[in-house]
Structure 1
Amino acid sequence: MKLFTYKRLLPLLLAAALPSQAQDTRYVPHASYTQLAIPAPACTTMNQPWEGPWNPCSAADHADWLRDLRHWRDERRIRIGYDGSRYARPSSAWTQSSFMQAQMMVEDRYVYDPVTRKYTVDRYLDDLERRFGGIDAVLVWPTYPNIGLDERNTIDMVRSLPGGIPAVKGMVADFHRRGVRVMFPMMLWDQGTRAIGRSWPDELAALMAEIGADGINGDTQDGVPLAFTQAADRINHPLVFQPEGLPSDEALAWNLMTWGQYTFPFAPHVDRYKWLEPRHMVNISDRWNRGKTDDLQFAFFNGVGWESWENIWGIWNGVTARDGEATRRVATLERLYARFLVSPEWEPHYPMRQYGIFSSRWPLADGTLWTIVNRNEYDSDGVQLSAPYQPGARYFDAYHGVELQPVRDGDQVLLSFAVEAHGYGAVLMSSTAPQDGLDQMRALTARPLRDYPAQWQPLAQTLTPIAATRPVRTAPEGMVEIPAGQFDFSVRGLAIEGGNGVGVDVQYPWEADARRFHQHGMRIARFFIDRHPVSNARFKAFIDATHYHPADDANFLKHWRNGSYPAGWADKPVTWVSLEDARAYAAWAGKRLPHEWEWQYAASGGDGRVYPWGDGWRDDVVPKPATGREVAAPDDVGAHPQGASPFGVQDMVGNVWQWTDEYSDEHTRFAILRGGSAYRPQGSIWYFPQAYRNDQHGKLLLMAPGRDRAATVGFRCVSDAE
């Protein structure tokens, strides 16, 4: 009876609710108030014959559409009680011209030199200026995809950067010296690693003040709550917040920037937040797309910016030469005429004379700017737009850097100029010529964009060589003989993002490029491998014999005290050792680290089994998983002999990760980790994924030994056989 009643009441309740949501508008979508895009007038896009008749937009169509949008904006601001006062703060004025923002992985080899142990900000910025004209802001990314390897949380990942907070502060200052603002991300999904000691707003505000950063990007967030802005204000270090979107239009008042993650129809849509607040900055983020024409054209049309994101979690998706040159031109124009692009009288979809050419009009008291894009696949020339005649007005093709000769047509003037296929244009109306912009743009646009290569190329990866050991005849103490044999090396990477695109995961020496899935038949030579991972006791013997101490000693043997391991830890696998530390131990022992395929062959017995012990997972042959926030002590080596591989190799899976090969490309170094660990932080899919199966591996981005060391990573060694 209740169900029947509710079914009958539901239409009545919905009908009662609709008037409170209804707007007296026809063109702004009502389905969701958080929808990013306001569609262009339907008449801007040609219908196919089967879709019904189509007529190009008339002046009346445009006026009606624009009037409706302005009405909706006025009413919407009233409904949300909009207060734009934060945009007027001097501390946040930089956002209104922060058009080009780069997402920068801290592991990028252009950013940090592990040999000199110095940040190389100038090298990084010089490269961007050379390739696409530089950036206005940088989003420094120190967390994902490595976060969750051990218990270090979002804050710890910043504090564990090479050189600690003093060096990070210096890096931020180097960006500021070059006129680049600095943002860091916040991961509120990070609730499975070490708990922080105070509220997230206070913790983040204090950290950003300590390093001198300008803002925070809200990763995966629909709006950064006002509490974060207020926490920064309380300590007199105002911050700008940039979530991926907004939960409501009201949040526009304190989220002064957002990402634009769009779809791209033929006729550019109007960004909802930019329309509500012309001072709001959007950086269009479209990281996996290999061509950036859509991104740049929609940014230029809306008077907003672009997120240049080439190093995507260690996967290189570099801009092409054409996109780089287009970025340089768009960025130069936006910087030159930034004051126009916050005009409160912005007029999107200003009527143009030719199909597929779209513009926005940005009027100010002393002039007007039009930003123009050609969405067609062909060049467009001739009369492009008309404007009301104004005595004394001069018109300039601001893109090509030349003055235009208007043709009087009654109370209008007609302006003719060329816009190349998938290209850009700009017209400036002013009583005087610009001081610098024309000469600069004339030089920049001397060559058409079509002259620049548009072909995308992945970066080649190379394997860091591992020198062979002195061959031995029989198994040294603590090692197991692995006989020679044919091996079907089949493995896949567990990177959470990237699909199976070229460039994802690793490029083995026999492969033409990096990819996620790998299969290769190979002959494995006879060798010997440690039965167990190297223990704390064995590593102390190495330290005692050699007095080894790394130059970068941050986090080195972090769990040791007074030069030795904790009581009861002698037989636990040594951790908090870098790849370089493991190599040093192996050289002292007359051994080397295993190639990944050797590790997998030893783990599987060569028969393709899923786990070292068989094809089904067994909880009783691996350490108990640690699902709390902190890393638990690893089990002793040899504590789970039932989990041995067919060759008798133990502790391959589920206790500590194990170092194997290192690879690099021009921008990223990374190591292949095998075996997984017992630490499993809960609550998010974004943590470093475990690789327990024989046909899985982890890819850990490398930066510096002190940064790379972890509570969950150890190693074992191999020796070559006669």
Structure 2
Amino acid sequence: MTNPIRTTSDVKFSHALTGPYLPTPGKVPGWPFAEMGRWKIDADGSADEWVQGLIEWRREHRIRIGFDDSLYRDPQLAWSQSNFVHTLLMVEDRYFYDPETGRYTVDRYLDDLEARLGRVDSVLVWYIYPNIGVDDRSQFDLVDALPGGVAGLKQVVADFHRRGVKVFLPTMPWDNGTAPNDAPDWERMAAIVAETGADGINGDTYSGVPLAFHRACEATGRPVVLQPETTAQAGDHILSWNLQSWTKRVPDESIPTVLKLKWLEPRHIINIENRWSRQRTNDLQHALFNGVGYVAWENVFGFVNLFTPRDGETLRRVAMVQRRFADLIAGANWRPYERTLQAGIFASRFPGDGRILWTLINRQEYAIDGEQLSVPHDAGTRYFDVWNGVELDPRIDRDRAILSVPMAGRGFGAILALGAGQALDGLDGFLADMAARAALPLESFPARWTAAAQTLVPIAPTAPHAQAPDGMIAIPAADFDFVVHGIEIEGYAAEGVDVQYPWEESPRRHHRHRMHIDAFWIDRFPVTNAQFRSFLDDSGYAPADTRNFLKHWQDGAPPAGWENKPVTWVSLEDARAYAAWAGKRLPREWEWQYAAQGTDGRAYPWGEDWDATAVPEPSLARVMPDPVDIGTHPAGASPFGVEDLVGTIWQWTDEYHDDRVRAAVLRGGNAYQPQTSHWYFPQGYRLDEHGKFLLMAPAKDRSAGIGFRCAADR
């Protein structure tokens, strides 16, 4: 059926077109066609006129935005035009950093990715969110908090470069509530880039990274590729200096979408970002169709969302084709919606000097084999099914070649034409590699997603204490309704978010469990600086990782007047060492909550309603307040008389881990509430809330906002 709608010759593309996608054939601006009838449209029938209108719109729109392509012609930045597989690396990832040895393990991280997904072109090293805001350290302070500080990050960059992987570093414009900095963000980032040798800057929440970042980096002699998270708001003029960008998940409609910035400048590689997706076929089809890349993001702020084996293998094959023909994919004459012979098959043409690459996708659920393309033919031209690694023997019909390739349901394809006398170095080896991979069809790889199972780290019981240890309160045995939920900002209520208690089958945000708790002892107050000093003096404890250990102390002692304030700048490991020395242990989370709540399910230790006199006054200032002395707010005591549970200091409890992530459950919250953004680590004053704090290394885990109290067995 021929498309009955007005063509693009009649309905021009508006210069005010917004959003990351261009309208598809059969859905041009101004035509209110019902989605339920899309299957009736012959997109192929209107494609030629549609593309012609798109070409005219591009010519006009480039003039309107004052497009300048000089940075795309800079040889130092040309690598961005083949940056197809881009991964976001959480520094807390256990494959990247080994806390046992205190070493970065870049090779282990990349070896794992290459085994499952194929080669990686670039990595975004992510060290700020979601822990930022638990204290007043800014995004730039958190670079210094990494193991080895900036020098450690420099070595990480060098290790990635040794493997041929480019490195992006993040910047976050919303971080204006933590400790102020003495220079604009672009100058601070330029200094870090220059010192570490990084290659790009990712602008978290930016819809266009400001030109000031490029100029600041260029002034240091280290120009970078700028990469905003989105482009929806800033305007298309940012294309001149943002050489790459992310786009969010693309529509899963019958007709694939053309990505606007890639169309405006084919050298602009967009990376499709769909962090919560568990089935990535639609995204990867759009990547192949548009000639763009993909954000291979699996550790999503502590939520493990691994590729299924099928998606991992699909990404590998798509990227193999894209890298091998990157010069064609970035060429100026890309033609989307190349005319195809079968309904549901969509193709793009990427022509170059004596060569043409067609990429094909099947939007139908069923396989479509046989003749797919009819293309102009010159004598001597050879054709190759590069997706399956074989040379084709086309049917020649006068001046046209009819090309046949198999297309699996929701499948992929790619065809190369080489003109008479043309040769391509390495083509035979590439075809052999693709043929070897094609021997196992994508449908043979498992496609079922499962959540990563978490394990609760054991806590050894203490020797029983028949009498109350000094400063501890007896908590009686009871049957307890343990009701709590995670307050992570992202992840919605998806399976895999938050933690997995031993009685649960998978991690989830909301938890409820009726349980018996044996009698135990718990500290009335958090451990103080004076008590921690006694531990050091008596035990001689010295952590292997000393970075940021007791950072607030002076000359090996608490500041004057800080003796009775809760000790901070101690890692989970430091807290465990103190507890062992004292013949105690850290409390299980449910013990902490029971000691704070009793058995009536109250919202706060003192009752159901908020009482401002029961906690330190919350601070909205950029610099976090000093903690108050213990015992300053007796009105905040729990039914058992336990004090300083809420609003004084976050407190270490349990640790959970899976293959990728270690995280500690924090309870109680502190008095610091940084403003300007809802992305800061949320406070958890209510007793049915807990914080999930990602663990990397003591150097980074230690915080001015976290302390602890101990428990012991009876």
1:119-177 deviation per Cα after TM superposition (whole angstroms, max 9, x unaligned): 10000000000001021000111011000111111111112111111111001000000
Structure-2 residue corresponding to 1:663: 656
Structure-1 residue corresponding to 2:542: 549
1:74-117 deviation per Cα after TM superposition (whole angstroms, max 9, x unaligned): 11111122110100101111100000000110000000011111
Residue pair 2:13, 2:57 contacting (<8 A) in 1 also = no
Structure-1 residue corresponding to 2:243: 256
TM-score using structure 2 length? 0.95
1:524 pairs, out of 488, 495, 517, with 517
1:496 aligns with 2:494: no
Going from structure 1 to structure 2, the CA distance change for 1:26 and 1:551 (only over 3 Å counts) comes to: farther
Root mean square deviation of aligned Cα = 1.7
One-letter amino acid of the counterpart of residue 492, structure 2 = G
The alignment of Structure 1 onto Structure 2 pairs a total of residues equal to 696
1:239-281 deviation per Cα after TM superposition (whole angstroms, max 9, x unaligned): 1110022311111000000002133322111110000001001
Structure-2 residue corresponding to 1:212: 197
Structure-2 residue corresponding to 1:13: none
Residue pair 1:33, 1:248 contacting (<8 A) in 2 also = no
TM-fit CA distance, 1:436: 2.6
Structure-2 residue corresponding to 1:37: 21
Q: Quick check: 648-657 or 74-83, which moved more?
A: 74-83
| Partner secondary structure for residue 686 of structure 2 | coil
1:353-386 deviation per Cα after TM superposition (whole angstroms, max 9, x unaligned): 1111111000112110001111111111011000
Residue pair 2:15, 2:61 contacting (<8 A) in 1 also = no
2:592 pairs, out of 596, 599, 603, with 599
Structure-2 residue corresponding to 1:409: 397
**Aligned-partner Cα distance in 2 for 1:55–1:331:** 31
Going from structure 1 to structure 2, the CA distance change for 1:28 and 1:267 (only over 3 Å counts) comes to: farther
Structure-1 residue corresponding to 2:4: none
TM-fit CA distance, 1:451: 0.4
**Aligned-partner Cα distance in 1 for 2:203–2:298:** 19
Going from structure 1 to structure 2, the CA distance change for 1:26 and 1:445 (only over 3 Å counts) comes to: farther
One-letter amino acid of the counterpart of residue 525, structure 2 = H
**Aligned-partner Cα distance in 2 for 1:368–1:690:** 56
1:637-695 deviation per Cα after TM superposition (whole angstroms, max 9, x unaligned): 01111110000000000010000001100000000000000011111000000000010
| Partner secondary structure for residue 229 of structure 2 | strand
| Partner secondary structure for residue 678 of structure 1 | coil
One-letter amino acid of the counterpart of residue 38, structure 1 = L
**Aligned-partner Cα distance in 2 for 1:226–1:379:** 47
One-letter amino acid of the counterpart of residue 67, structure 2 = Y
1:534 aligns with 2:547: no
1:133 pairs, out of 112, 118, 122, with 118
**Aligned-partner Cα distance in 1 for 2:661–2:706:** 20
Structure-1 residue corresponding to 2:3: none
Going from structure 1 to structure 2, the CA distance change for 1:193 and 1:615 (only over 3 Å counts) comes to: same
Structure-2 residue corresponding to 1:376: 364
One-letter amino acid of the counterpart of residue 158, structure 2 = A
The residue correspondences of 1:109-188 to structure 2 (distance < 5 A) are 109-188=94-173
1:314-349 deviation per Cα after TM superposition (whole angstroms, max 9, x unaligned): 000000010011011101111111111011111001
TM-fit CA distance, 1:710: 0.2
**Aligned-partner Cα distance in 2 for 1:470–1:336:** 65
Going from structure 1 to structure 2, the CA distance change for 1:27 and 1:581 (only over 3 Å counts) comes to: farther
| Partner secondary structure for residue 671 of structure 1 | strand
Residue pair 1:387, 1:414 contacting (<8 A) in 2 also = yes
Residue pair 1:26, 1:68 contacting (<8 A) in 2 also = no
One-letter amino acid of the counterpart of residue 654, structure 1 = G
Structure-2 residue corresponding to 1:579: 572
TM-fit CA distance, 1:225: 1.2
TM-fit CA distance, 1:410: 2.6
One-letter amino acid of the counterpart of residue 317, structure 2 = R
**Aligned-partner Cα distance in 1 for 2:35–2:118:** 44
Structure-2 residue corresponding to 1:86: 71
The residue correspondences of 1:623-638 to structure 2 (distance < 5 A) are 623-638=616-631
Residue pair 1:27, 1:39 contacting (<8 A) in 2 also = no
TM-fit CA distance, 1:235: 1.3
Residue pair 2:349, 2:357 contacting (<8 A) in 1 also = yes
One-letter amino acid of the counterpart of residue 553, structure 1 = T
1:487 aligns with 2:472: no
**Aligned-partner Cα distance in 2 for 1:54–1:569:** 75
**Aligned-partner Cα distance in 1 for 2:177–2:364:** 49
Going from structure 1 to structure 2, the CA distance change for 1:83 and 1:456 (only over 3 Å counts) comes to: same
Identity of aligned residues (%): 53
User: Which contiguous aligned blocks of 4+ residues in structure 1 show a shift greater than 4 angstroms?
Assistant: 23-29, 47-53
**Aligned-partner Cα distance in 2 for 1:487–1:493:** 19
**Aligned-partner Cα distance in 2 for 1:27–1:451:** 45
1:700 pairs, out of 693, 699, 710, with 693
| Partner secondary structure for residue 338 of structure 2 | coil
1:339 pairs, out of 321, 324, 327, with 327
Structure-2 residue corresponding to 1:7: none
| Partner secondary structure for residue 436 of structure 2 | helix
TM-fit CA distance, 1:447: 1.2
Any stretches of 5+ residues in structure 2 without a counterpart? 1-6
Residue pair 2:92, 2:695 contacting (<8 A) in 1 also = yes
The residue correspondences of 1:270-309 to structure 2 (distance < 5 A) are 270-309=258-297
| Partner secondary structure for residue 349 of structure 1 | strand
Structure-2 residue corresponding to 1:357: 345
TM-fit CA distance, 1:554: 0.6
Structure-1 residue corresponding to 2:602: 609
TM-score using structure 1 length? 0.94
**Aligned-partner Cα distance in 2 for 1:33–1:700:** 42
**Aligned-partner Cα distance in 2 for 1:263–1:137:** 25
**Aligned-partner Cα distance in 2 for 1:378–1:188:** 46
Residue pair 1:140, 1:184 contacting (<8 A) in 2 also = yes
One-letter amino acid of the counterpart of residue 315, structure 1 = F
| Partner secondary structure for residue 339 of structure 1 | helix
Structure-2 residue corresponding to 1:686: 679
1:393 pairs, out of 368, 381, 390, with 381
**Aligned-partner Cα distance in 2 for 1:542–1:573:** 14
Residue pair 2:571, 2:701 contacting (<8 A) in 1 also = yes
2:708 pairs, out of 693, 711, 715, with 715
